[in-house]
Structure 1
Amino acid sequence: MFTKSAYDGKLSEQYNTLSKQLKALLEDEPNRIANLSNASALLGQFLDRINWVGFYLMENGELVLGPFQGLPACVRIAVGKGVCGTAVANRETMLVPDVHAFPGHIACDAASQSEIVVPIIKDGEVIGVLDIDSPEKNRFSEEDRAGLEKFVEVLVNYI
Structure 2
Amino acid sequence: MAPFSKLSPRTSAWLSKIMNEKEKEETYGRIIPPIVEMIKDEKDLITAMSTISCELYHAFEHWNWVGFYRRVDERTLKVGPYQGGHGCLTIDVDRGVCGACVREKSILMISDVSKVESHIACSPETKSEMVLPIIGNMGTVLAVFDLDSTEIGAFDATDKEFLSGLVDWIRPLYDQFPGRFLEVGQSGKGSNFAI
Give the TM-score band, short-chain normalised. 0.7 to 0.9
In the alignment, is the contact (CA less than 8 A) between 2:27 and 2:59 conserved in 1? no
Residue 151 of structure 2 aligns with an amino acid whose one-letter code is E
Residue 81 of structure 2 aligns with an amino acid whose one-letter code is P
Alignment partners' CA distance in 2, 1:151 and 1:47: 16
Instruction: Describe the SS at the equivalent of 1:118.
Output: strand
Unaligned 5+ segments in structure 2 are 1-21, 175-195
Query: How far, CA to CA, are the matches of 2:130 and 2:40 in structure 1?
Result: 26
Aligned-residue offset at 1:129: 0.6
Instruction: Tell me the equivalent position of 1:36.
Output: 49
Q: What residue number does 1:84 align with? A: 98
Aligned to 2:66: 53
Question: TM-score, normalization: structure 1?
Answer: 0.86
Normalized per residue, the structure richer in strand is: 1
Query: Bigger relative contact order, structure 1 or 2, given CA contacts below 8 A and separation 6+?
Result: 1
Count of residues in correspondence between the two structures: 151
Higher CA-based Rg: 2
Shift of the 10–122 alpha-carbon distance from structure 1 to 2, 3 Å rule, reads farther
- Percent identical pairs in the alignment equals 33
Report deviation, 1:118: 0.5
- Which residue of 2 is the match for residue 127 of structure 1? 142
Separation of aligned partners in 2, 1:95 and 1:131: 10
TM-score normalised by length of structure 2: 0.71
Compared CA separation, residues 135 and 11, structure 1 to 2 (3 A): closer
More deviation, 28-37/10-19:
10-19
Q: Which residue of 2 aligns with 1:154?
A: 169
Q: C-alpha displacement at 1:81, in angstroms? A: 1.2
Q: Cα RMSD between the aligned structures?
A: 1.7
Q: Distance in 1 between matches of 2:126 and 2:88?
A: 13
Q: Is the 8 A contact 2:133 2:141 kept in 1?
A: yes
